[in-house]
Structure 1
């Protein structure tokens, strides 16, 4: 069992374990065991999403892991996300009900709007126009938010929040919200420190969660020559001083900042290693050095083929979040 986890306090007073298991890109046949291994290792925070296509298997692993380890459902913080094709108010409740059924739970601790851009409604996750470009909807996330609030009213979710939203978009939601966002999930690592966005969220009491904290080295659109956090000799050298790996340094970096961190793995030894970051602390000097690595580099900018040319998927959409500094 891992050491007692540090937590972040949500605006409701509920606590969020800072180290969670990410499940993006976890393949069928692997993720159920990954969840079971994680629960044994001491994880009490699972991050899921409908679009990952593996929530039923996550649910299988959760059910078996809870039973085998005498863990109560209430002791595990479970997050999922509303996909872009489900932004219409009428689609929000059916979407979360499908997620609850797949996960085999009665409620979620946190439900996020996955991206600010809406896609054409339907059952195709990535709807396309004839030229291959994305088929978007005109639905604003400000229309989606009241339906998210209703999920809290109805007891289907404990908290609601945002993912991949920028500071202006957060302000817009806060200006209309009856129930405020509890958390903001975005990519973050030393090459993308998100210092300004974290400070902006903190003003509202919104907890920041870092996805792809290791730089998502297995991302499908990776290109040769792109930066590699895990191979950065400066990060490797910091780890050697603590007898830790580069991955453990990157995870601990977020914990030191009070940021929830969501490393993904299906490999039992790595799942265990990723939570073995609670027995050391990075010095203030090392944190200061890591703070100088920021280069505003994003690993998670997916591309699509339009007329046979690979282009950034949503960059020209008016709600694309990364066209402003933070």
Structure 2
């Protein structure tokens, strides 16, 4: 059974370099994916409040533990703070709700999902809250300093509810500010990375500050084409790009494996979503491929600075990447 290589976080913890994403796994599919992923060697499950499936993911984890596939301390359970819970009085509420849904007593890694604060929506009214304060079309910001949110999270690390903190979708300027006051430094930066969005400078800065980097949406437009996003529909799918398919043939690999290995060979962690047992195995096995420096440079040369997950495209005033 293939297993993930590891990287080491700032405190020396071993962090799986290839984890399993859960975005867009819904209902029973989420539970089965987590169970089968753990059964087939994954040891990091990347979730979030906003995915709306943490209870089902937790069911898959519990089943794997009951069947003696894993013990709790062998699995990195990851979640994220949603935008509507940034005020200090709501941070613990959000973490406790996610812990309850997962059925665990602590998170191994907990990210701030976006450095965007939105008006609070009570979980009794709607959960997960989503982007719209009215549940329909109105985005309403809440001017909460990021420091307030971070200090509330640090307090939960002190309580043992979180082991490691991370930030997601954060540009280097915001990360620089956070590092100036954080008592507990972030361990991981999670950002969109694929051959169309290489993000070399962001990766270099994060590493200079002692953070490991996880790339999400490793397959570029693929996941966003399912959402009928115009930018994704107009982009050449990576799995049919002539350069990627040629390299896949040369290495007796799939295009997905080539794209993943390009990332992990850069030292970046990845969290691809797998829909089948075959994909799960192939994604883990990608770590065995060895790309040449010329091949790595050729893939990086596809960079367009093309970002698919940009709130400004859909939500007025959410210009975190501008």
2:120 is matched with which residue?
Answer: 121
Give deviations 1:189-208, integer Å, cap 9, x for gaps. Answer: 11101100000000110110
Contact 1:87/1:144, CA 8 A, preserved across alignment:
yes
CA contact (8 A) 2:171 2:202 kept: yes
Structure 2 unmatched ranges of 5 or more = 123-128
Alpha-carbon shift at residue 225 of structure 1 (Å): 2.1
Residue 321 of structure 1: CA displacement? 2.4
Where 1:150 maps in the other structure, the secondary structure is helix
Matching of residue 229 in structure 1 with residue 238 in structure 2: yes
The residue aligned with 1:312 is 314
Superposition map of 1:159-174 within 5 A: 159-174=164-179
Contact 1:215 1:229 in 2 (8 A): yes
Aligned residue number for residue 88 of structure 1: 87
CA contact (8 A) 1:163 1:185 kept: yes
Give the aligned length.
Answer: 312
What residue is the counterpart of 1:199 in the other structure? Answer: 204
The residue that corresponds to 1:186 in the other structure is 191
The aligned counterpart of 1:111 is 110
| 1:140 and 2:142 are equivalent in the alignment | no
TM-score, normalised with respect to structure 2? 0.92
Q: Shift in Å at residue 302 of structure 1?
A: 4.9
Q: CA offset at residue 221 of structure 1?
A: 4.0
Q: How many angstroms apart in 2 are the aligned matches of 1:256 and 1:208? A: 13
Is 1:213 the counterpart of 2:218? The answer is yes
SS of residue paired to 2:243: helix
Q: Find the aligned partners of 1:273 and 1:100 in 2 and give their Cα distance.
A: 30
Change over 3 Å in CA distance of 1:156–1:216 after alignment to 2:
farther
Q: Which moved more, 1:115-124 or 1:219-228?
A: 219-228
Q: Does structure 1 retain, via aligned residues, the 8 Å contact 2:19–2:270?
A: yes
Q: CA 1:195–1:68 in 2, change beyond 3 Å: closer, same or farther?
A: same
Q: 1:153 aligns with which of 148, 158, 162?
A: 158
The DSSP-based 3-state class of the residue aligned with 2:299 is helix
Q: Secondary structure at the match of 1:321?
A: coil
What is the aligned partner in structure 1 of residue 180 from structure 2? 175
> 2:307 corresponds to which residue?
298
Q: Which runs of 5+ in 1 are unaligned?
A: 304-310
Task: Kindly report the root-mean-square deviation, in angstroms, between the aligned alpha carbons of the 2 structures.
Answer: 1.7
Give yes or no for contact 1:55–1:102 (8 Å, CA) kept in 2.
Answer: yes
Q: Distance in 1 between matches of 2:229 and 2:182?
A: 37
Whole-angstrom CA distance in 1 between matches of 2:291 and 2:68: 32
SS in 2 for 1:278: helix
Output one character per residue of 1:210-263: Cα deviation in whole Å (capped at 9) or x when no partner.
000011513214223223112211111111111111111111111101111010
Determine the C-alpha separation between the residues in 2 that align with 1:39 and 1:129. 38
Matched, 1:272 2:281: yes
Conservation of the 8 A alpha-carbon contact between 1:129 and 1:135: no
Contact 2:9 2:187 in 1 (8 A): yes
TM-score when scaled to structure 1? 0.91
The C-alpha deviation readout for 1:122-141, integer Å capped at 9, x for no partner, is 13322247993411111121
Relative to structure 1, is the Cα distance of residues 216 and 181 closer, same or farther in structure 2, using a 3 angstrom cutoff? same
